[in-house]
Structure 1
Amino acid sequence: MRKDINLENAPQKGHCSITAVEEGFFLIADSLKIILNSLEDAKAGDIVSINIQDRSSFADYMVLASARSQRHLSAVTGYLLRNWKNSGRGQVRVEGLSGGGWVLIDTGDIIVHLFRPEIRALYDLEKIWLARD
């Protein structure tokens, strides 16, 4: 089960950051939908998205998800990156592919954290970011 914003209530045009790419502009809500759907399709667990627009200068949303093992983490990462590339949304920065149990994907407006469960529990980013509400 995924916990996230209701995309129907996502910021509307004029109140939403826009990511520029060669072929046009994309609303953050559309980018977020690609990420969340990709994570669900890849069987990532405990998917959470957090709106950090008012609390952060580096991103508008943070998405967290768990993978069952290092192998599953690599597969989820690969699936998400392929879907992102196929959507034409441009380059992303990726850290943590070396096998540490935590992969960070920076799309510019959305930061995605993919964890093995024990690493996610150790850092507990949900508690840090949700406590600020």
Structure 2
Amino acid sequence: MQTEQTIALVQNALEDMKAKEIVLLDVRGRSTVTDYMIIASGTSRRHAASVAEEVVIQVKQAGLMPLGTEGQEAGDWILVDLGDVVVHVMMPDARSFYDLERLWGVETAVTE
């Protein structure tokens, strides 16, 4: 699966699950870990966990196996590693505190 297809698949899953403030960060040349980060907010811990789980389900159905997931138990910040794309589903407080958009210092593209 091409990176652009993965991004579109993830964005659609996030939108279908009513994730908030969906942002795509292009971190090529700034990170050796991934090329893109997609950040979204959940409205509750249960919602954030459900959103992340739906991303995992959708990418698996498309034939892509996530490299890993972290944070499902706590639900404040759930990470889904898809290789070239890393998805962060965060509660608003955690998102504000860690401010990944500013941390990576990249132009953001809001996709919501």
User: How high is the TM-score relative to the length of structure 1?
Assistant: 0.76
Partner residue in 2 for 1:22: none
After TM superposition, give the deviation of residue 91 of structure 1 in Å. 3.2
Q: How large is the Cα RMSD of the aligned pairs? A: 1.2
Pairwise CA distance, 1:58: 1.0
Runs (5+) with no aligned partner, structure 1: 1-25
2:74 match: secondary structure: coil
User: Hey, what's the Cα distance between the residues in 2 that align with 1:31 and 1:73?
Assistant: 20
Residue 3 (structure 2) pairs with residue 28 (structure 1): yes
Tell me the CA shift for residue 90 of structure 1: 2.1
Q: Give SS of 1:65's match.
A: strand
Is 2:100 the partner of 1:125? yes
User: Could you tell me which of 68, 88, 95 is aligned with 2:43?
Assistant: 68
Q: Which has the higher contact order (CA 8 A, sep 6+)?
A: 2
Partner of 2:18: 43
Q: Residue in 2 aligned with 1:85?
A: 60
**Which runs of at least 4 in structure 1 moved beyond 6 Å after TM superposition?**
none
Q: Secondary structure of 1:62's partner?
A: strand
How many matched pairs? 107
Larger radius of gyration between Structure 1 and Structure 2: 1
Tell me the alpha carbon deviations over residues 78-119 of structure 1, each in whole angstroms, 9 at most, x when there is no partner: 111110110011233000011140001111111111101011
TM-score of the superposed pair, with normalisation by structure 2: 0.90
Distance in structure 2 (CA, Å) of the matches to 1:39 and 1:120: 16
- Give me the identity figure in percent: 36
1:43-65 deviations in Å (ceiling 9; x for gaps): 00000001111211110101100
Query: In the alignment, which residue of structure 1 is the partner of 2:110?
Result: none
SS at match of 1:98: coil
What CA distance in whole angstroms lies between the structure 2 residues aligned with 1:63 and 1:73? 14
1:105 partnered with 2:84: no
Structure-2 change in CA distance of 1:42 and 1:132 (3 Å): closer
Q: Which runs of 5+ in 2 are unaligned?
A: 108-112
Note closer, same or farther for the CA distance 1:34–1:47 as it changes in structure 2 (3 Å cut). same
